[in-house]
Amino acid sequence: MKTARDLMTPGAECVGEAESLVEAARKMRELNVGALPVCGENNRLKGMLTDRDIVVKCIADGGDPSKTTAGAFGQGKPVTIGADDSIEEALRTMESHQVRRLPVIDGHELVGMLAQADVVRATPGRAGRTVSEISEPR
């Protein structure tokens, strides 16, 4: 049985909670990603920040991304998956929380990211249902 560790992209980079949204956007550009984990002290996961968060929740509301920190959007308990959890568990987590990306945690350490596309490639028979469940408005 495949686990999250088997399919994840290892070595996920965080944006620090004190870094500005401009710095976060630059890091997203450099890494060619649309989302970054937000980490606090000791690289503890604080949440997730997406390019959409920067545009819709900051810029569109008249905020200044150079003065707004990534931590302002990394509030609450992030939805994660354990590195040794099954792909079925990852699918259930994505579906129930309607998220397309899951930070993969080993203990308290961020070890990678698992994307919807990673899971869909590994479970082609469930691809349509998975995408539908994650994307369906509630």
Q: What is the mean pLDDT of the chain?
A: 87
Of 109, 45, 30, 40, give the one whose Cα is nearest residue 69: 40
In angstroms, the CA 9 to CA 103 distance is 10
pLDDT value at 94 more than 80? yes
Instruction: Tell me if 80 sits within 8 A of 105, measured CB to CB.
Output: yes
Q: Which domains does the chain have, with CATH numbers?
A: 4-135 (3.10.580.10)
pLDDT value at 137 more than 70? no
How many residues would you count in the chain?
138
Quick one: pLDDT at residue 42?
75
pLDDT tens per residue across span 103-134: 999 988 889 999 988 888 887 776 556 555 66
pLDDT tens per residue across span 33-66: 988 999 987 778 888 999 999 999 999 999 999 9
**Amino acid letter at 8?**
M
Quick one: pLDDT at residue 23?
97
Quick one: pLDDT at residue 119?
86
**11 compared with 82, residue with greater pLDDT:** 82
Quick one: pLDDT at residue 98?
87
Q: What percent of the chain has pLDDT over 70?
A: 88
pLDDT value at 88 more than 70? yes
Instruction: Tell me if 5 sits within 8 A of 111, measured CB to CB.
Output: yes
**42 compared with 82, residue with greater pLDDT:** 82
3-state DSSP of 20-83: EHHHHHHHHHHHCCCEEEEECHHHCEEEEEEHHHHHHHHHHHCCCCCCCEHHHCCCCCCCCEEC
